[in-house]
Amino acid sequence: MAGAAAQKLPDEGVKIEAPPLPQGLKWHNSAPLTMQELKGKVVLLDFWEYTCINCIRTFPYLKTWHDKYKDKGLVILGVHTPEFQFAKVETNVVRAVKQFELKHPIVVDSDYQVWQAYGNRYWPAKYLIDKDGFVRYFHFGEGSYQSTEAQIQKLLREVNPNVELPSLGDVVRGADKPGAVCYPVTPELYLGYERGGHANTLGNPEGYQPGRLVTFRDPSKWEDGKVYAHGAWRNEAEALVSTRRLSAPADYIAIRYHSLEVNSVLRPENGKPLRVYVFQDGKPLARTDKGDDIKYDPKGRSYLVLNEPRMYHLVKNAKFGQRTLKLATAEPGMGIYSFTFVSCEKR
């Protein structure tokens, strides 16, 4: 989802005017705003998506900057541009804004109008706009938080040379500090016959069969960076969806991966909560390796409750390595959209 490092525009002497904000979009935490009325302010335009792990990991910094600089002339403007069809639903976006406790203005860009106006390609992406309405700096992906904050302060001083500004903030995670180790990881894996098919992520010989219900058989030998299905799954554009009610969780999606953390975007397709069992290396997740969304039943089996469409935090391994992961269910309606991986740790 994310891009790479911070970048300045090629020539600071060349001014690029920020495109106007389209009218008629839905806004939250604010009345509709225009670039014209924001002149005289410094604007941090943040493209994000509520299932995007890279976006979620930037939220502590955005919230800190909002609190530190909202009375100094900074306006953070979040642009929610969806990656999945269900992320276009405004109620899902509103729920996410509340869950993540985002207080800055948010515009719902479900038809990609703002995204296209900026020619953007990444989640997250940040554009800094000066008091005269010109883009002066941009950054794609995570990281470079102190550099970005320094640019915020530079533009605020252009608004008011006498403004009193606090010291630059420290990073909030050890993995963001200098000296952190970021291991090479399995690339993000998409499911569904459109994005998953395009990226050739499905390892089953049956392959994707658009719109059809397919009974997949696990080939048993798993390649790192591929997705393997077993059981009866409906092939949709963005997901594979479980279809059977069974006496035991026998239908599953499995991957072999190398990473520290694993997240998955899931959706209860039938609108009802269901239980998803999570196995690592053929066993329930060790409690030392469990993600935030993992629970345990009386038999010690690790599971999550799939009750809303979002990103679920499955694994946070104590040590980096190559492992297998299996998501299994005995119920219809488990929609699996993607897997994402996190690899950085403080040494």
Q: How far is CA 314 from the centre of its chain?
A: 14
CATH topology of domain 6-172: Glutaredoxin (3.40.30)
Residue 342 to residues 185, 287, 311, 315: CA-CA distances in angstroms? 7, 18, 13, 10
DSSP code of residue 194: I
Contact predicate 266/309, CB 8 Å = yes
**Cβ atoms of 124 and 77 closer than 8 Å:** no
Beta bridge partners of 279: 284, 326
Q: Is there a contact between 154 and 44 (Cβ–Cβ < 8 Å)?
A: no
CA distance 58 to 298: 36
- The amino acid occupying position 157 is R
At 91-108, the pLDDT tens digits run: 999 999 999 999 999 999
- List the structure tokens of 68: 């530190």
CA atoms within 13 A on the CB side of 238: 13
The C-alpha atoms of residue 185 and residue 31 are separated, in whole angstroms, by 42
Q: At what angle do helices 145-159 and 59-69 cross, to 10 degrees?
A: 20
When pLDDT is cut at 50, 70 and 90, the band that residue 1 belongs to is low
Kindly report, residue by residue over 299-321, the tens digit of the pLDDT.
999 999 999 999 999 999 999 99
Q: Give tens-digit pLDDT for 39-87.
A: 999 999 999 999 999 999 999 999 999 999 999 999 999 999 999 999 9
Structure tokens belonging to residue 203: 């390892």
pTM: 0.92
- Residue ranges of domains in the chain: 6-172, 189-345
pLDDT at position 40: 97
CA nearest neighbour of 88 among 59, 110, 106, 114:
110
Instruction: Say whether domain 189-345 belongs to CATH 3.90.380.10.
Output: no
Tell me the average pLDDT across 88-92: 96
Q: What percent of the chain has pLDDT over 90?
A: 90
Check residue 346 and give its pLDDT: 76
Residues 6+ apart with CB under 8 A from 135: 9, 16, 17, 18, 127, 128, 129
Hey, what are 217's tokens?
Answer: 């058989």
pLDDT (0 to 100) of residue 248:
96
SS3 assignment, position 290: strand
